[in-house]
Amino acid sequence: MRNIKDRMTGYLFDPWYHVGEKRLKLLKESWAGFFKEQCLPELPVEAMVSQFHKTMGRPSKEIYTAVGAIILQQVFDMSDDAAMHAIAFDVMWQYALDIPDPSDDSAYMCPRTLWRYRNLATKENLDDATFTKIAEKIIKYFKVDLDRQRIDSAHFTSNMRKMGRAGIFAKSIKAFLIDIGRRFPVLYEETISGDMRERYLSKKGMGCFSRVKPSEVEKTLKILSEDLLFLVNCFLHQEEVAQLKSFHLLQRVLQEQCTCSDEGEKITVKPSKEVPSDSLQNPSDPDATYDGHKGQGYQIQIMETYTAEDNKDGTKPDVITYVEVEPAHVSDAHALIPAIKSTQDRDCAPEALLADSLYGSDENIETAAKLGVEIIAPAMGSEQKDKKLCLTDFTVDKTNERIIACPAGQTPVRTEDMRNGLLKTCFNVGVCQACSHREKCPTRVGKRTAHVFFTPKQIRLAIRRNKEETEAWRDVYRMRSGIEGTMSRYKSQTGAARLRVRGLERVRFAAVMKAVGLNILRASRAWAAMIRKGVNEEASRRLNSAYSFFYALMLSFLAVFSMDARTLALAEPDSGK
């Protein structure tokens, strides 16, 4: 049965009076006060409410409290037991979740209940709705400027062990043997030999695969691959076995790591360079992939607002406006346009977006410009001048597609459209031959003209590189480095560097909720700054009012005294003067 409070209606009497005036003041200025007042009523609990009957069954935990506890658990990177104790005994958690009643029905949630509600929230994609709701609330409450934003990615891992190739083979085979032994014991006894069981199911046998010498890796992989091929061929036509998830993992390892003959009898292990980056990294987390620079795991894309020097009082928080979790092998170049479109759909898109060079491909720059967003990112690569002139030294027109003058100031004779998108700009051959820049100029001297070949893309890149050399561009782009601090806080403050879960669905839920938590922690600091500023302004106003009162009182006394003096002077008898 549903148990849900009306969070939009306040209390007639404050139920937190028992805390004490001073401690209550600290609670209101902390993250707990901000979460209770601004975030808790905004939580999207509609999807969770639909999981419980309106009148039948045992009453559920209060829905807002349960969803809020799931968020706080990810924010502070707590296990289920630690979260249970925080709900039961931590005053800040109880205040944040609005649990003034200390009874077991209100202030106790066992780990199993917490696990169940978290699974329901994961299946209902509550992470997206929560992130959107909280971000919109913070943006509206603090009137955050959305025109300037920045984007970057961070690598993190799930709760999985890092394995080499031998470990992946051995772990996959072991998982399959355990699975088939439990589900099909008769088939297991008839098919699997004692040597194979000893090799993969005993501690002594599996221990050999974890202590492989570099000189014996090739030999070990050959044994593992032959066992893998035997199992796949043996059970491929067993329909019930072929449907097992563990058998699908065997086939995946075979396809990614090995090459089989046409008859399917001989097998060779692929060189490590030929193994794809999206290959299986650990059977316990099939969704994790590999990045050659950062290793195994996942990555998260984060876009956030930023403030320049106009936020000295700390009342304007930086807000994460977009978050997306991807496998580790996905390039950052593919993340920019989806991020822009997502923020435009939620009315929080930027006008100018700072990014590093991986996001700043020419295609992304052009596509973003059509969407009305200016991308400020360095162009990838550089032109090797070597004391020679290059395309960046030519003058182009306003459309940034045609050359209108060479480095020496000579105007072209004509520009011709060539095949494959090439443009050919021709100059007077006599002038070019007599030019002082002849030895350094990239133009080719022909019989009739001196010409240079280029594409509009090369022109645009040349213009971007010229702009990157200016002090104005560097002054704007220097703010991009601030997102590195965001990534550091995201990993260390919320524990996102290594999550407690596995699988893309659960990993995504935890990672997005931690981004929600970072928004809440940032907003709570701005909330406390606003409260302190408001208290100071109120005290100053009261002091000014007191000064004004005493000043008016003094003027009144002076006015009365002056009036009495004038009255006495008029009442004196005339002295005859």
pLDDT value at residue 312: 67
pLDDT score recorded for residue 458: 78
> Phi/psi class of residue 125: alpha, beta or left (left: φ > 0; alpha: ψ in -120 to 50)?
left
Q: Which residue is associated with the tokens 């709900």?
A: 87
pLDDT at 551 over 70: no
Instruction: List 327's β-bridge partners, or say none.
Output: 298
Would you say residue 195 has pLDDT above 80? Answer: yes
Q: Which residues contact 387 (CB under 8 A, 6 or more apart)?
A: 440
d(CA 214, CA 212): 6
Give the model's pLDDT for residue 328: 92
Structure tokens at 361: 């491909």
Residue 304: strand pairing partners: 150, 320
pLDDT tens for residues 6-48? 777 777 788 888 888 899 999 999 999 999 999 998 998 888 8
Q: How many CB atoms lie within 10 A of CB 241?
A: 21
Answer yes or no: is pLDDT of 248 > 70: yes
| DSSP letter string, 117-129 | HHHHHHHTTHHHH
CA 322 to chain centre: 7
Cα–Cα distance measured from residue 408 to residue 432, given in angstroms and rounded to the nearest whole number: 9
Which pLDDT score, from 0 to 100, does residue 538 have? 45
Distances (CA, A) of 454 to 282, 368, 399, 424, 427: 47, 23, 15, 7, 14
Calpha distance 304→182 (Å, rounded):
49
Orientation of helix 63-75 relative to helix 504-571, angle to 10°: 100
> 326: which strand partners?
299
Q: Are the C-beta atoms of residues 359 and 151 closer than 8 Å to each other?
A: yes
CA atoms within a 13 Å half-sphere pointing along the CA-CB vector of 57:
10
Q: Which letter does DSSP use for residue 310 in this model?
A: S
Q: For residue 525, how many other CB atoms are within 10 A of its CB?
A: 15
Domain chopping of the chain, boundaries: 17-146+505-529, 165-274, 391-461
Rounded CA gap, 62 and 14, in Å?
Answer: 19
Structure tokens, 32? 């707990």
Q: What are the pLDDT digits (tens) for 82-127?
A: 999 999 999 999 999 999 888 888 899 999 999 999 999 999 889 9
The angle formed by the CA atoms of residues 477, 482 and 486, to the nearest 5 degrees, is 145
pTM value is 0.82
Give pLDDT tens digits for 339-371.
999 999 999 999 999 999 999 998 999 999 999
Tokens at residue 426, please? 């021709």
Whether residue 223 has pLDDT greater than 90 = no
Computed over every residue of the chain, the mean pLDDT equals: 84
Number of alpha helices (DSSP H) and beta strands (DSSP E) in the chain: 23, 14
Query: Are the CB atoms for 509 and 500 separated by under 8 Å?
Result: no
| Rounded CA separation 138/130 (Å) | 12
Residue 508 structure tokens? 């995504």
Terminal Cα-to-Cα distance of the chain (whole angstroms): 104
What pLDDT digit, counting tens, does each position of 517-538 carry? 999 999 999 999 888 877 544 4
**Strand pairing report for 403-405 and 320-327:** unpaired
Write down the residue that tokens 């299986």 correspond to. 280
User: Nearest-CA neighbor of 459 among 419, 418, 402?
Assistant: 402
pLDDT in tens, 254-311: 999 999 876 667 888 999 889 998 999 999 999 999 988 888 999 999 999 998 766 6
The pLDDT value given to residue 418: 73
What average pLDDT does range 217-243 have in this prediction? 89
Q: Is 532 exposed, middle or buried (0-12, 13-18, 19+ CB in 10 A)?
A: middle
Residue whose C-alpha is closest to residue 52's, from 44, 40, 61: 61
